[in-house]
Structure 1
């Protein structure tokens, strides 16, 4: 049996091959281009790599063109956490020496000794991998939009509190097109106080408002003309220019999030598992796509539902030593799936009577706090999702949350 370890970098990679005894039988330094990939595949084929008996590969990343090339055929690729690789390095040397060829050798020996303890990259279909790209990009764009919105809010508090009071009644506040039009029209409170009803109504119409234009314009006029403290004129103008720069970033982030959301709307219903995900209470297109993106459609990835729940951070961790034992939440997890699970559990409480009863039971009978009760509900929903995916069944409320029979008289 031959094992391969690759220490990857931005421009070059180091490759090491070891046999069953741990003897280094080949090493190579390749470039990160098509020529380097061909050298790597030829090196693997030279040492017995074939479609029937592929050589397993360990590498410290799960993405990139190199990983895509290695995942062709039936070859198993193991993405080793760099922290785990650092712990393995100490087994071979206590002097803390480190080199790229040495790291490749360590990765190869990880597979030789503990391949059974590591999970290979899942064999997801191309539609699932494409959907994962879109769903993660949309999630990143949403987080980026919220971060820029928070920066803009913090800046407005320094010199323009009237703007925050103006957008407060609107849902999504600073992310709305009406707020963008108003801030672009009047970047400082001095300019906002001079706006007329006609100008305010025109700004709301440019933003796409169809109803209650006159009433909102009157409200905005009163807010902008109220008595507020002001920065010195020069400082106020400078802060207004800084605000316009942040506003441009927020508009770009909002457009990116909306465009990616539309791409997810188009791609998710085309996946064969979409019907199963959408049958669950609390899962819509965007949230269902995020869950599918992190779980994938490789049915052999998780042997049991317990593995999926641990991967999502829904199941607790038990630490026991001697007479001491503690049960705590799981910190090492898939953060994206865990975040989607929090939103899923929160939405399912109002969408499913059984989920709401389970949540109340955890709060009232077990004394869980809100987050702990939601995490327990997410744990249960994940187990049901795993069962439905394995057996190709849709969610059924009565089966998932059977009503308790009344005690006999």
Structure 2
């Protein structure tokens, strides 16, 4: 057998090939991340008379840059292993010389393939991979929308600090429409009472009328906001409100797409209290094939919810926090699910309350619930059965 290690980068990859004794068959080869570069890689295999059946290829899951080469090599019939960079880093640290270059990195990966001390990352089926992509995209939209909202709040704090007292939700439908038409106190005083009342009544579907219009005008007239550069404030607020409305519409459309894809997978993930379609899609997309985890603890570690270990000499202990070494997307989704489950799942709620009664901080208690939820997710996905608060006990022989 022969072993090839490929160091992945955005534009150029580096490959090293060794035999069963760990000897390099040639100097490392740099090849571009395109069709021409991939053909150079195949030409190297042919020059060394290595067939797909006698070669194991390893590469790190570096961002998304490995996907094209991975799928292309699979089509050509090669055995390709995708490993977590944490594993290759650990193996690299065993080297006496602490050099860092592409050719050495590719050689380290090849040696790791030879020893076989690694676990692989698997590409999930198409719908699962799509859920992963769309869920991550949704998170970026939500974060972008949140940034816009924070900027609006910062502007209102300057030009109209009293505005937060007018609506329970600054970014509700009525409030956004008001800010789009009247972004400053001066605008709210300039518009006629009739037009203001009509705007409020229409957008709130009759909830707000003359009384709310009078409250807004009174508050605007007594505002202690800045009075200079109002045009600049007005322009920014209008554009940001338009951005927020657009991003919210995109997110809504995206969530419908995600929900439809999730249903196609026939997953049981949404039977767990606290996990709806959006969070469920994120969890399924990040986990992929549950069979790559043989114990619940490995899933907990993959989510980065395992306890952080602190070692010094002969001392070994935990910091009391979580390691955060796994998938941040999976960790965030399970954390959100756990935060909801403590109020709607009787078992997890009882567990959470017990921790609180023992003096644990809310965040510490939720972390513990999140770990328990990992165990639940592992079990129901492995067994492909709906979640039950009190599952039936197995019959004794």
Q: Do these two structures clear the TM 0.5 threshold for a shared fold by scoring above it?
A: yes
Are 2:235 and 1:241 aligned? yes
Residue in 2 that maps onto 1:212? 207
Residue in 1 that maps onto 2:107? 105
User: Which residue, 292, 316, 332 being the options, matches 2:284?
Assistant: 292
- Tell me the TM-score normalised to structure 1 length: 0.84
Work out the CA distance in 2 between the residues paired with 1:183 and 1:112.
64
User: Which residue, 253, 265, 268 being the options, matches 1:271?
Assistant: 265
**1:178 CA displacement:** 2.6
CA contact (8 A) 1:162 1:189 kept: no
**1:270 CA displacement:** 1.0
CA contact (8 A) 1:193 1:224 kept: no
**1:103 CA displacement:** 3.3
Are 2:44 and 1:35 aligned? no
Q: Which moved more, 1:186-195 or 1:122-131?
A: 186-195
Residue in 2 that maps onto 1:312? 303
Residue in 2 that maps onto 1:11? 11
Work out the CA distance in 2 between the residues paired with 1:158 and 1:87.
54
Q: Which moved more, 1:84-93 or 1:333-342?
A: 84-93
Matches within 5 A, 1:221-370: 221-222=216-217, 224-233=219-228, 235-273=229-267, 276-296=268-288, 298-321=289-312, 324-327=315-318, 328-329=320-321, 330-364=323-357, 366-370=358-362
Residue in 2 that maps onto 1:405? none
Work out the CA distance in 1 between the residues paired with 2:49 and 2:222.
80
**1:351 CA displacement:** 1.5
**1:388 CA displacement:** 1.4
Cα distance change on mapping 1:280 and 1:62 into 2, 3 Å? same
Computed over aligned residues only, the root mean square deviation of the Cα atoms, in angstroms, reads: 2.9
3-state DSSP class of the match of 1:58?
strand
Instruction: Structure 1 unaligned segments of length 5 or more: list them.
Output: 402-409
CA contact (8 A) 2:9 2:62 kept: no
Work out the CA distance in 1 between the residues paired with 2:263 and 2:78.
28
Residue in 1 that maps onto 2:69? 66
3-state DSSP class of the match of 2:56?
coil
Residue in 2 that maps onto 1:197? 193
Cα distance change on mapping 1:396 and 1:232 into 2, 3 Å? closer
Work out the CA distance in 2 between the residues paired with 1:311 and 1:194.
57
1:342-382 Cα offsets, whole Å, 9 max, x none, are 21111112221112111112222x43221111111121121
CA contact (8 A) 1:57 1:77 kept: yes
Report how many aligned residue pairs link the two structures. Answer: 386
**1:166 CA displacement:** 2.9
**1:60 CA displacement:** 5.1
Q: Which moved more, 1:370-379 or 1:60-69?
A: 60-69
CA contact (8 A) 2:158 2:225 kept: no
Work out the CA distance in 2 between the residues paired with 1:151 and 1:400.
52
Matches within 5 A, 1:181-196: 181-196=177-192
**1:80 CA displacement:** 4.3
1:209-242 Cα offsets, whole Å, 9 max, x none, are 3231316743653454341124243x22222223
- Tell me the TM-score normalised to structure 2 length: 0.86
**1:200 CA displacement:** 2.6
Cα distance change on mapping 1:43 and 1:300 into 2, 3 Å? farther
Are 2:389 and 1:386 aligned? no
CA contact (8 A) 1:61 1:79 kept: no
